[in-house]
Amino acid sequence: MTILFSLAIAFLFATGAYLMLKRDLIRLIAGMVLIGNAANLFIMASGLRRGVTPILPLDQRAADPLVQAMVLTAIVISFAVGALGLALVYRVYVSHYSVDLSRISAAEEQQSEQEESAGSGFDDEAEDDTDGERQRDAEDEVVTV
Amino acid sequence: MKAYLYDAALILSVAVMTLGVIGIWRMPDIYTKLHAASKAVFLGVVVLALSSTVIAEGAMVYRAVLVSAIVVITTPLSSHVIGRAAYLMQERMETPGAVDESGSNLKDERPTWRL
Amino acid sequence: MPMANYRRNAGMLQSAARILLVPSFVIALAVMFKGYGDVGDGFSAGVIAALGALLQGLAFGAEELDRIPVIRYASIGTFVGLTIALGTAFFPLLTGDPILLHWPRAGEDVVHFGVLEFITPVLFDVGVFLVVYGFCVGAVHAIAREQERQVRDRERARKARGAERPTLAEEPLEVAE
Amino acid sequence: MHEIVYYAAMIWMIGLFCVCVVMIVRAKSSLVRVLALDTLTLVLVALLVVYSTTTKTSYYLDSAVVLALISFISVIAAARYHAERRLF
Amino acid sequence: MILLIGLLLGSTAVFAMMVASFSWQNLVLGFAIASALTWMFRKQVIPKPLPPNDLAAHLVIYSPKLAWYLFVDIMKGTWIMILTTLGLRPLNKPGIVRIPLHTHSPFGVGPVGYFITLSPGSFMVDIDWDEGVMLVHVIDASDPDQVRKDAEKYYKLWEYGRHVPLPWMSPEDKERTPDA
Amino acid sequence: MIALPLMILWFGGVVMALLDGTRKPSGWLAVGILAAGFVATAALGVEVYDKTSVEMAVGGWPQGVGITLRVDTLSIIFALLSQGVLLASLIYEVVNGVGARIYPALVIFMGVGLTGLFFTGDAFNFYVFFEISMISAYVLASYGETPRQFRTAFIFVVVNLLGSVLFLIGIAAIYHTTGFLDMVRIREQMPLIDENPAILSATIIFVAFCTKLGLFPFHFWLPAVYTGTRPSVAAILSGALANIGSYGLIRFGADIFPRELREASEVLLWLGAISIIYGGVQAVARHATSEVLAYSAIGQVGYILIALALGGPAGYAAAVLYTVINSANKTLLFLSGSLRGWLVGAAFAVGAFSVAGVPPAGGFFGKLALFRVGVDEHRPWIVALVFLGGALSFVYMFQLYRRRTAEVGTPDTSPVGAQVLVVVLALVVLALGVFPEPLLGMTQRAADALPVVKLP
Amino acid sequence: MDINSLMQPNPALVLLVVALAAPLVVALGGAWRSELVGKVAIVMTGAAFATAIWTCFVDDATFDVAWASTWDLRFTLVLDGLARLYALLATGIGFFVVVYAFSYIPLHLHHDHRPLDEQTRFFGFLLLFMGAMVGLVMAQDMILLFLFWDLTAIASYFLIGYDRGEEESRSSAMMALLVTGISAVLVMIGAVILGNELGTYNLGRIFSSATPERGIGIAALLVTVGALAKSAQVPLHFWLPRAMAAPTPVSAYLHSAAMVAAGVFLIGRMYPLISLFDWLLDGLLVIGYASLVVGGVLALTRQVLKQVLAYSTISQYGYVVVMFGLGGEKGVAGATFYVLAHALVKSALFLTAGAVTEATGKKHLADLGGLWRRMPLLAFGSGLAAAGLIALPLTIGFFKDELFFAAAYEHGTGYAVLAVLGASLTFTYIARFWTTIFLGRENVAPKAIPGTLVWPVVVLGVATLIGGLWTAPAIWLVEHAATVSAGMDVHLHIAYHLDTRPENVMAVATWLTGTALLVSRPVWLPAAIAAARLGEKLGPARAYYEGLRLLNRVSDAIHTFEVRDLRSRVATILVPAGVLVGVAVIVTPNSDAFHVGSLARSDIPLITMIGATLVSALVVTIVRDHFRLALSLSAVGFSLAVVYALLGAADVTLVAIVVETIFSVLFMGMLALMPRPILRYETAVRGARRLVRRDVVMAVIAGAMAFFVVWGALSQPAPSTEVIEAHQMLTPLAHGKDIVTVILADFRGFDTMGEITVIALTLLGIMSLLRSGRLR
Ligand code: NA
Ligand code: NA
């Protein structure tokens, strides 16, 4: 069982990691969720005892309740982070009109080049146009494609 | 005895569920799949839940009843919602000789249905 | 075009949504109150209640979420709930006790009414319930508002362009791939 | 005997679950995928019921109740998203 | 009023079943919770004006009949579906059938659609208020008229529904409801 | 008493969440809340100083069942430091005009998270508070709301989430192998458990904290994030949030995994050395102030790691000391980096001197501590490395400063309040260098409480 | 400190307080009324000078309080002979420089069209410089000494870079700072080594307990290197000529009494330690002679006034270093005397250069000439100073060379020859300097300059003369100072002797050689210039620039490899983590560390369900569109919920189910907010196969890392489950039955508080990220 659990957790982790290496931001979030799932499963598996549901009265040996409490908290937290990640993806989409990392990285690259040449520290006013306008421009762009 | 009864019910409901899944797999279009799926499966669940009351007592019975009730209430809703979505999206009917009185011309002439 | 009467024709879903509204909250509260002695806790209760509330939005449209106060002000509930939980946790400090002190004290007799126990953890769990309920409803509601905003923006953009053909991006319904 | 039936039923239902998962990927129409998800949740409800009954604990029936109650909401959301590209 | 009480009692029962105890304390608790929630959602769930009390009596009287109809339909439909799925019965002209609406109240149509959907072999697809029809997909639509006839029985059972205007109805829907 | 700072901040956060933080009065209210928390923490610090450590069993349950809050000097140092940085950044924003209604609330909640994780004596509770501060940071990273900030925030979220998950895995591993979540019990149990799982969980936790800290090679997110966020946020991230990394390394490394820390010290030394050189060299030719500071941060954490790897009371004390000074430096530099005016320039210069380790700026004592440790441990290479790193920091800080001073003609537009703030920060940095005794005493006290393990 | 000590102020403390108060008062005064700042500065330096003079009439004093007791650092000041000498120089020369600057700086700012209130910065830093010097010379604790040491570097940095608008000025300041600042770190390292070896930072105790061991030798070496760099000795001399970018008063101060003098001061201070090591003294000799010659030769080739003087300084401090290297009573006393004499004359010469440039606008020797007619007073004052530097009799400078010659002769003929050679170089360039400016044809008409630009020169020149006539004060100062350096009683015997003792012969030889060199300038000049060119090409300055450029280039090169893509950022965490875990697995004993575990029949459903979970997870990775992604992600969540159920975790199952549902609703809601063309565009572009393969490899590495960590941990469960039992036992006391919920709401309610705070924060975040989000 030990090795099966380990393999399963590792597999979940690997699938999550695989998705986190993708270009698509939404897949990245999915990868985060999967990695979180792997961690949660590991917490569950790291219970010091297996057994029946730990609700009194108990006639048999109960499962480790502590890991269950931990995994509950961890599930909730990874859920919250996942939700936040999704909202962030949306906002990245609004501001870049893309959820593709390669495009977003290109924007980042451009920025750092600008900085290298301009040499001014915190000024990102160059990119200060409002999201809405940006999006409208981009929409027109899409229509013509 | 009760246990055997329960086993029988278990086998029955699993069989019904299996049929439902097979139906989803094999039916030609979304409408017919919907027929196959949800109901067969939900019947399986209801049978199972109710049969579980045979060997269970107290708390379990209440909840088994509750499960059945909720499944009965919600399953038609999902079929309706999915079916309606299919209709609104003009999903094709892929069964030869399909009847369509909706006026949206969902019939497809291509003979793809073979059982 | 069948889409035209989309909302109006969703009568069956709407009826079901109304019918399930109170029961889903009842189930949620049951899950919460019994949680101390049985499966369930404030967290799952909050999500169940939130889903019951959101079902109204799914059936009646986003405006409905604004119409029902319990849903509209849910996100305030998050902070109310947080305050309840914090208050429960920190109140014992006033008497010099450690935070989150169990009341009535461990092992003492406790008043209970059915599954409802009058102990601080249950109050705490009510806070959790409110937080979670508020979060789930608030987050989805925020999505709904954003959606309305997008529709408004597109409408405005289309007007600005002179009511030409809609862009690909704004076309709500598309042929499946 | 009962045990064998239990194990067989469990494995079988998990197999059904997997078939549903495969349908989520392989189905041609997106709505069939939604349908597969719906079926999948019902299979899980059944699974929880069987497990609960066999282990003679009511604890998992709570999950079954809740799953039955709320899974259809996500099905509605999925169908709505697919048909309308919006939830509300 | 009776219907409202029934609703509250039903919710109380759900609570009791959920906590798996029908002790009086839990029933009181459940009732209190249900009442509070119903009050909280009064605009959403309490019809205004309240449906007549004889509707409740009607429901009680006809529920065995309804159950029987449903049972028969479910069994029949399941059997047909099993045969069809296993390929023992040809898939005989499935399709969408128009069933005329005999009521203009969503509350009247909803349950009928629900009953139709509940039984395997048929489900409601859409309602077209403008044409006054309900679109139902049936697994065997070789005789659409028979389908329409089968649906009638539910209407008869649910006749009362059309009298009830519901809080969430649009003004024109309310207008269509005869008793409004 | 022990929970008072948390209570103030926590309730304050809730209040601020409901208020519109862009308004001046609510901004100052937030400042007041943070300041109150700071004062309460300081008062607790006085108590801790007398007793070495103060405990509170949450809920009054016995240790091991309930969570135990355990505050020692190390906790107090980090809590005061982080709250101070948050306070400075918040004042900075309030003076400049807060741009988002939730900014003050987020800063306060980050204070809750940081204070909680410094105060808790429970490994899993540590994770929970860690997540509170991380979530605040995730949202804060997008503060400013230009496309760049969202991009940055996304990078930050993804990478740090990975770190968090690794940490969580480590916690679970610790629980499974020791059977405890209470850190004291874990520490007692650690020597008894098998070497293999211990070193594995130590490794994974190490990776998690290094990711937070931005140590080479886990640093690749850091420049983008520090340059992409608003200055005040960059100050918070580098001055307050990064403290999680160093505190975590000290708490988990020196306190829970002392044996593993000793065993891995060579690896850590190498990583620290590479980080110092890498960050330093990278910073040399960077142009933007924030970019130089970002790479400088990578280099600076290398020193912390080295001090930790050298270990012993002196090494641990140096690690803590260096963290404090580095945080103060980064806060000062990030905040003054975006302002204009000769006063600001002077403040920035103080920061630059501090990074380079020039007295009387506080950074001097950081470097001195490292030299002391290196010499005490008879590690000439460490001394040489610290020297080299210091030389690099001289080069990059003053190349940067030279460029900044070239902009003599720029009009003096920064708000007076912000200028005063950075000058006060600069004075703090100077005070650390002129009156080092309180800090040295506290760090030494904190380090003396950590176990010393000698390998056979 | 008792009340008595408060009543009787400690001279050391008084001096330091006055000196350090000066910059503070100036800064505050400048902030108040910037036009007053010059006068305030004069008053404050005057006060400091007066205090320094006063200290000559009181006994030696020690001021000692705890500074950082954790590290045994003490704030120890000692007012001894050495401190008196240098403090007198710092304040005295400082005073004249400030008087000079009082007129000079407004003119300077006026030339550059800069506002007058920038004076404050100048005087502030100049006085800080002075204060730092005063502190430095009295500091008795190594760390304290280092603090003041670097304070002089800071002050010099800002003073050299005072003309911020000029690139030359900024880069010179940086060069000075880099060279002196970085080399200063060596002093600190030396201090730390001493502290470690001898257990104290107190100089007195260090000297009394130091033995010629290797560690202490290294420390002494490091300190010496730092000192030499500060004194601009070869090969770290190149920053000093560049530092000429500073306004002239700064140069004057820097060269005579502050920065550069601090270097030799440190040698003098640490001499008891340095002199333990003969190899170190030999090193000093080599460096000193090299500097003497290099500085001299380069000075010969220079045209710019201040550059001549700058190279002269390098050369002059070469004398001092040589004398320290020669050692002995004569050497130490000579070195100390030399510093005193040099300070007077060099400051005067610099101020002269400034005044000349101010009057004529010319900086090059070639442009100048015959100024003695128009500026007789200046010519007189600077003539005295020049005479002092070339060691003409009747000036204090004469004795400095006499002592030098004596010390060199005592050591051997070779040294003596070198000494004469060096001295004649000095003779040549200084003679050329003065004669070219003041004698010959009048090339340019000087305009009138304020008297304060002239009088300090005259006073310093006259002081040079007086020092040559009335040697007692100088002897007193030097003897006391040298006694401290040498660690023994030093007696200085200086007088004019009209005989053929070696010193006198060498002096005469020097003048003759110098005159010959001066006359034969056209002959050797090309060779000297060639040497200078060679030095520029191959010398350390070139190394500095090339090093800096190389460093920047390396930095840029590394920067191009810096990861700028989120995917790679993720990969660069996963892969090193995998490597570290791999290393950890390899280095620890693995036998019996990993267990396969046993399998029960009841685990069959669990295993199958886990398999189903993995199938779902696999599906998540292969689906193409986001809709299927969302659905399959739900499937993973639901199946995990069942896994939790099969593990006996009912509460977890419930929460997992509800979380999965609400998450899928959120997921689809978010997807719905993004137009389909965007989503489809992004998913239609599929990664190249190579990238997919790369991703798979990395995922496998990540999975392997997770596998080993997880397996390693799961293989070794803790023996004790007492925590679980305790929870189980206490649950009834907490009035509950469900242990898990009791843990969540009670035992570990604090966790749950954190968790709901996370949720509330996430809500806040989502509200702010979704633009229309609001709480009501
Ligand atoms: Na929880
Ligand atoms: Na529970």
Check pLDDT > 50 for residue C171. Answer: no
Residues contacting F381, CB < 8 A, separation 6+? none
Query: If pLDDT is split at 50, 70 and 90, which confidence band does C6 have?
Result: low
Which of G608, G630, G657 lies nearest to residue D11, judging by beta carbons? G608
From the list C76, C74, C93, C83, the residue with the least C-alpha distance to C128 is C83
Task: Decide: C134 and C78 in contact? Cβ < 8 Å.
Answer: yes
Domain-embedded: residue E103: yes
Please indicate whether, in this complex, the C-beta atoms of E93 and B93 are within 8 angstroms of each other.
Answer: no
Task: Indicate if E64 and E147 belong to the same structural domain.
Answer: yes
Chain D positions touching chain G (beta carbons under 8 Å): 7, 10-11, 14, 17-18, 20-22, 24-25, 30, 33-34, 36-37, 40-41, 44, 47-48, 51, 57, 59-60, 62-63, 66-67, 70-71, 73-74, 77-78, 81-82, 84-87
Check pLDDT > 90 for residue B90. Answer: no
**How many domains are there within chain E?**
2
Q: Helical H runs in G487-598? A: 502-519, 521-538, 540-561, 566-587
Task: Indicate if E37 and E97 belong to the same structural domain.
Answer: no
End-to-end Cα, chain G, rounded Å: 66
pLDDT at residue E172, as a whole number: 63
Task: Indicate if E68 and E30 belong to the same structural domain.
Answer: no
Longest dimension (CA), chain C: 75
Check pLDDT > 80 for residue E11. Answer: yes
pLDDT at residue E158, as a whole number: 64
CA distance C141 to chain G (A): 8
Check pLDDT > 60 for residue F416. Answer: yes
Higher pLDDT, A22 or A37: A37
pLDDT at residue C168, as a whole number: 42
Instruction: Give the per-residue SS3 of G33-80.
Output: CHHHHHHHHHHHHHHHHHHHHHHCCCCCEEEEEEEEHHHCEEEEEEEC
The CA F247 to ligand 1 mean position distance, Å, reads 26
Question: DSSP string spanning G397-423?
Answer: HHHHHHHHHHHHHHH-HHHHHHHHHHH
Q: If you average pLDDT over residues B25-33, what whole number do you get?
A: 88
Residue G579 near chain D (CB below 8 Å)? no
Interval E95-130: pLDDT, tens = 899 988 776 666 667 778 888 888 888 889 988 877
**Sign of the dihedral defined by the CA atoms of residues C27, C32, C38, C40, in that order:** positive
- Give CA–CA dist B6/G280, Å, rounded: 99
Q: Do chains A and E touch (3 or more CB pairs under 8 A)?
A: no
Pair of tokens at residue C102? 């169990």
Helix (H) or strand (E) holding G489: none
Interval F262-280: pLDDT, tens = 988 999 999 999 999 999 9
pLDDT at residue F410, as a whole number: 57
Please indicate whether, in this complex, the C-beta atoms of G635 and D21 are within 8 angstroms of each other.
Answer: yes
From the list G41, G50, G37, the residue with the least C-alpha distance to G22 is G41
Query: If pLDDT is split at 50, 70 and 90, which confidence band does B111 have?
Result: very low
Task: Indicate if E110 and E169 belong to the same structural domain.
Answer: yes
Check pLDDT > 50 for residue F334. Answer: yes
- Classify F63 as helix, strand or coil: strand
Q: Do chains G and B touch (3 or more CB pairs under 8 A)?
A: no
Task: Indicate if E152 and E67 belong to the same structural domain.
Answer: yes
Domain-embedded: residue E80: yes
Task: Decide: G647 and A63 in contact? Cβ < 8 Å.
Answer: yes
Share of chain F above pLDDT 70, in %: 98
Q: What domain range is E6 assigned to? A: 2-46
Task: Indicate if E21 and E69 belong to the same structural domain.
Answer: no
SS3 content of chain D, % helix, strand, coil (to 5): 90, 0, 10
Task: Decide: G476 and G494 in contact? Cβ < 8 Å.
Answer: no
Check pLDDT > 50 for residue G481. Answer: yes
Check pLDDT > 50 for residue A56. Answer: yes
Check pLDDT > 70 for residue C22. Answer: yes
Higher pLDDT, C78 or G33: C78
Q: If you average pLDDT over residues G332-359, what whole number do you get?
A: 91
Chain G, 619 to 658: residues with Cβ < 8 Å from chain C are 625, 650-651, 654-655, 657-658
Q: If you average pLDDT over residues G422-445, what whole number do you get?
A: 88
Residue B46 near chain D (CB below 8 Å)? no
Please indicate whether, in this complex, the C-beta atoms of F128 and A77 are within 8 angstroms of each other.
Answer: yes
Q: If you average pLDDT over residues G590-597, what whole number do you get?
A: 82
Query: In this structure, how many other beta carbons lie within 10 angstroms of the beta carbon of residue G418?
Result: 18
Task: Decide: F69 and F55 in contact? Cβ < 8 Å.
Answer: yes
Interval E28-69: pLDDT, tens = 999 999 999 999 999 888 877 677 777 777 777 778 888 888
The CA C128 to ligand 1 mean position distance, Å, reads 8
Query: If pLDDT is split at 50, 70 and 90, which confidence band does E167 have?
Result: low
Check pLDDT > 60 for residue F44. Answer: yes
Q: List G78's β-bridge partners, or say none.
A: G62
Task: Indicate if E14 and E88 belong to the same structural domain.
Answer: no
Interval D18-38: pLDDT, tens = 999 999 988 888 899 999 999
Domain-embedded: residue E51: no
Interval F431-449: pLDDT, tens = 999 999 999 999 999 999 8
Q: Do chains F and E touch (3 or more CB pairs under 8 A)?
A: no
**In angstroms, what CA-CA distances link G176 with A96, E148, G246, G258?**
47, 100, 11, 14
Domain-embedded: residue E77: yes
Query: If pLDDT is split at 50, 70 and 90, which confidence band does G79 have?
Result: very high
pLDDT at residue A137, as a whole number: 36
Preceding amide of F258 cis, omega within 30: no
Query: If pLDDT is split at 50, 70 and 90, which confidence band does C169 have?
Result: very low
Query: In this structure, how many other beta carbons lie within 10 angstroms of the beta carbon of residue A60?
Result: 9
Residue G565 near chain F (CB below 8 Å)? no
pLDDT at residue F408, as a whole number: 54
User: Residues, chain A, total?
Assistant: 145
Task: Indicate if E92 and E141 belong to the same structural domain.
Answer: yes
From the list C33, C106, C105, C88, the residue with the least C-alpha distance to G726 is C106
Pair of tokens at residue F388? 């080299």
The CA G435 to ligand 1 mean position distance, Å, reads 91
Domain-embedded: residue E97: yes
Please indicate whether, in this complex, the C-beta atoms of B38 and D39 are within 8 angstroms of each other.
Answer: yes
Domain-embedded: residue E54: no
Higher pLDDT, E174 or G367: G367
Q: Give the HSE-up count for residue G398: Cα atoms under 13 Å, Cβ half-sphere.
A: 19
The CA D59 to ligand 2 mean position distance, Å, reads 9
pLDDT at residue E53, as a whole number: 72
pLDDT at residue A130, as a whole number: 39
Which of D30, D63, D70 lies nearest to residue C51, judging by beta carbons? D70
Which residue is associated with the tokens 């762009």?
A141
Query: If pLDDT is split at 50, 70 and 90, which confidence band does E173 have?
Result: low
Does this complex have an ipTM over 0.90?
yes
- Give CA–CA dist G232/G287, Å, rounded: 11
Task: Indicate if E124 and E37 belong to the same structural domain.
Answer: no
Domain-embedded: residue E26: yes
Task: Decide: A98 and G764 in contact? Cβ < 8 Å.
Answer: no
Q: Share the mean pLDDT of chain C.
A: 84
Question: DSSP string spanning G713-743?
Answer: HHTS--S--HHHHHHHHHTGGGT-SBHHHHI
Domain-embedded: residue E52: no
- Give CA–CA dist E163/G205, Å, rounded: 107
Q: If you average pLDDT over residues G66-85, what whole number do you get?
A: 91
Task: Indicate if E67 and E134 belong to the same structural domain.
Answer: yes
Higher pLDDT, A77 or A132: A77
pLDDT at residue E174, as a whole number: 60
All residues of chain A having their beta carbon less than 8 Å from the beta carbon of residue C170 are 139
pLDDT at residue E159, as a whole number: 59
Share of chain F above pLDDT 90, in %: 74
Please indicate whether, in this complex, the C-beta atoms of D14 and G612 are within 8 angstroms of each other.
Answer: yes
Query: If pLDDT is split at 50, 70 and 90, which confidence band does B26 have?
Result: confident
CA F382 to chain centre: 23
pLDDT at residue G5, as a whole number: 56
Query: If pLDDT is split at 50, 70 and 90, which confidence band does A33 have?
Result: very high
All residues of chain C having their beta carbon less than 8 Å from the beta carbon of residue E30 are 26, 30, 114
Q: If you average pLDDT over residues F293-305, what whole number do you get?
A: 94
Task: Indicate if E40 and E123 belong to the same structural domain.
Answer: no
**In angstroms, what CA-CA distances link G580 with A8, C133, F208, G584, G706?**
22, 42, 12, 6, 12
CA distance A136 to chain C (A): 8
Please indicate whether, in this complex, the C-beta atoms of D58 and E18 are within 8 angstroms of each other.
Answer: no
Query: If pLDDT is split at 50, 70 and 90, which confidence band does B57 have?
Result: confident
From the list A26, C72, A77, E126, the residue with the least C-alpha distance to G669 is A26
Q: If you average pLDDT over residues G278-287, what whole number do you get?
A: 93
pLDDT at residue A124, as a whole number: 34
Higher pLDDT, G191 or C170: G191
Q: List F54's β-bridge partners, or say none.
A: F71
Query: If pLDDT is split at 50, 70 and 90, which confidence band does E180 have?
Result: very low
- Give CA–CA dist E140/D9, Å, rounded: 32
Interval G505-544: pLDDT, tens = 898 999 999 999 888 888 888 888 888 888 888 888 889 9
Interval G676-699: pLDDT, tens = 777 776 555 555 677 788 889 999
Helix G167-198 and helix F363-376: axis angle, to 10°? 40
DSSP assignment letter at G428: H
Task: Decide: A20 and G570 in contact? Cβ < 8 Å.
Answer: yes
Preceding amide of G241 cis, omega within 30: no
Task: Indicate if E64 and E125 belong to the same structural domain.
Answer: yes
Interval F224-265: pLDDT, tens = 899 989 999 999 999 999 999 999 999 999 989 998 999 889
Task: Decide: G396 and G341 in contact? Cβ < 8 Å.
Answer: yes
